[in-house]
């Protein structure tokens, strides 16, 4: 049974089902491996509540917490199903959900999922199912791409007891565009021994709360006009 924002399914018809999509992978020595899933779930849950306040009946689904994270190979804690399997899983979830919900929105918090996610949503839309995806924005700048200031701030706001700030250290702080070729060739280990891409030491719960609120506002506002591009991405600007 789908899980609503209040924790129980409803038998009434819904306008939109919302699926949080994360990953299970290392996030440096200071964040838990389910960071992406926690962030996706929290933002999707609050977005559903905002949608309902705006008059849209929405249903929060349980999070898909394992994604495509092959770039983190070699780090402890990684659980990845790869792009091909993730694409298939999302297609099957979409087909199932669209039997009872007219629309499905996938809220993604892991960049490594985007290839499989886009392929799945395009395939579902090609089958006539009204499915879209949108990204959680967790970066504070071009060098803050994994377990840095943004994600650490959000986790300080969501689950401060799970954040080990005494272990937080800067990782690779070069802009993503600069390290992307090496990242594609050798994964995260090729550019950061700690697995951190960014500097988490300046993170704060206050900044995290602001980032969550902005994500929620952006996603909830985009759900009403429901404008989708050719990649199945929900227009959120």
CATH of the domain at 204: 3.40.50.10310
As a whole-number percent, the residues of the chain with pLDDT over 70 amount to 95
For 15-40, the pLDDT digits (tens) are 999 999 999 999 999 999 999 999 99
Q: How many CB atoms lie within 10 A of CB 164?
A: 12
Question: How far from each other are the two terminal CA atoms of the chain, in whole angstroms?
Answer: 32
What is the number of structural domains in the chain? 1
CA 218, 224, 230, 231 torsion-angle sign: positive
Separation of alpha carbons 171 and 212, rounded Å: 23
Domain membership of residue 160 (yes or no) is yes
Q: Is 179 helix (H, G, I), strand (E, B) or coil?
A: helix
Q: Which residues pair with 132 in a beta bridge?
A: 105
CB 108 within 8 A of CB 135: yes
Q: What local confidence, expressed as pLDDT, does residue 12 receive?
A: 57
Q: Mean pLDDT score of the chain, rounded to an integer?
A: 95
Q: What is the mean pLDDT of residues 148-156?
A: 98
- The band of 237, judged by pLDDT with boundaries at 50, 70 and 90, is confident
- Measure the CA angle with vertex 141, ends 42 and 234; round to 5°: 50
Domain membership of residue 6 (yes or no) is no
Domain membership of residue 234 (yes or no) is no
Q: Is the pLDDT of residue 9 over 60?
A: no
For 95-142, the pLDDT digits (tens) are 999 999 999 999 999 999 999 999 999 999 999 999 999 999 999 999
Instruction: Give the domain extent around 107.
Output: 16-224
Q: What local confidence, expressed as pLDDT, does residue 13 receive?
A: 86
For every residue of 95-162, DSSP letters joined together read: HHHTTT-SEEEEEE--GGGHHHHHHHHHHHHHTT-EEEEEE----SSTT--BSSHHHHHHHHHH-GGG
Domain membership of residue 232 (yes or no) is no
For 167-179, the pLDDT digits (tens) are 999 999 999 999 9
Q: Is the pLDDT of residue 218 over 90?
A: yes
Q: Is the pLDDT of residue 55 over 60?
A: yes
Domain membership of residue 148 (yes or no) is yes
Separation of alpha carbons 164 and 171, rounded Å: 15
CA 75, 79, 82, 87 torsion-angle sign: negative
Q: What local confidence, expressed as pLDDT, does residue 178 receive?
A: 96
Could you list the beta-strand ranges (E) of the chain: 16-21, 58-60, 103-108, 130-135
Domain membership of residue 207 (yes or no) is yes
CB 121 within 8 A of CB 90: yes
Cβ neighbours of residue 183 under 8 Å, at least 6 residues apart?
A: 71, 176, 190, 191
Q: What is the mean pLDDT of residues 70-92?
A: 98
Tokens of 201: 């030491």
Q: Is the pLDDT of residue 151 over 60?
A: yes
Q: What local confidence, expressed as pLDDT, does residue 5 receive?
A: 40
Q: What is the mean pLDDT of residues 142-163?
A: 98
Q: What local confidence, expressed as pLDDT, does residue 2 receive?
A: 43
Domain membership of residue 229 (yes or no) is no
Domain membership of residue 135 (yes or no) is yes
Tell how far CA 5 is from the center of its chain.
Answer: 17
- What is the reported pTM? 0.94
Q: Is 64 helix (H, G, I), strand (E, B) or coil?
A: strand
Burial of 127 (0-12, 13-18, 19+ CB in 10 A): exposed
């Amino acid at each position: 049974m789908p899980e609503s924002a209040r924790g129980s399914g409803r038998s009434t018809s819904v306008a939109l089902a919302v699926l949080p999509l994360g990953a299970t992978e290392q996030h440096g020595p200071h964040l838990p491996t389910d960071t992406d899933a926690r962030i996706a779930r929290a933002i999707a849950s609050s977005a559903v509540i905002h949608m309902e306040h705006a008059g849209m009946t929405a249903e929060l689904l349980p999070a898909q917490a394992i994604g495509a994270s092959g770039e983190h190979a070699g780090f402890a804690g990684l659980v990845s199903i790869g792009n091909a399997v993730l694409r298939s899983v999302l297609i099957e979830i979409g087909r199932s959900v669209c039997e009872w919900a007219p629309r499905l929105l996938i809220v993604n918090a892991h960049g490594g999922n985007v290839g499989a996610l886009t392929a799945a949503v395009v395939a579902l839309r090609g089958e006539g199912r009204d499915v879209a995806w949108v990204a959680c924005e967790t970066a504070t700048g071009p060098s803050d791409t994994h377990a840095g200031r943004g994600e650490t701030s959000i986790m300080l706001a969501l689950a401060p007891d799970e954040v080990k700030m005494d272990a937080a250290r800067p990782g690779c702080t070069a802009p993503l565009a600069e390290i992307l070729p090496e990242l594609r060739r050798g994964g995260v280990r090729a550019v950061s021994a700690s697995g951190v891409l960014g500097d988490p030491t300046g993170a704060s719960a206050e900044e995290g709360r602001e980032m969550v609120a902005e994500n929620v506002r952006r996603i909830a506002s985009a759900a009403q006009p429901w404008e989708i591009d050719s990649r199945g991405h929900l227009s959120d600007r």
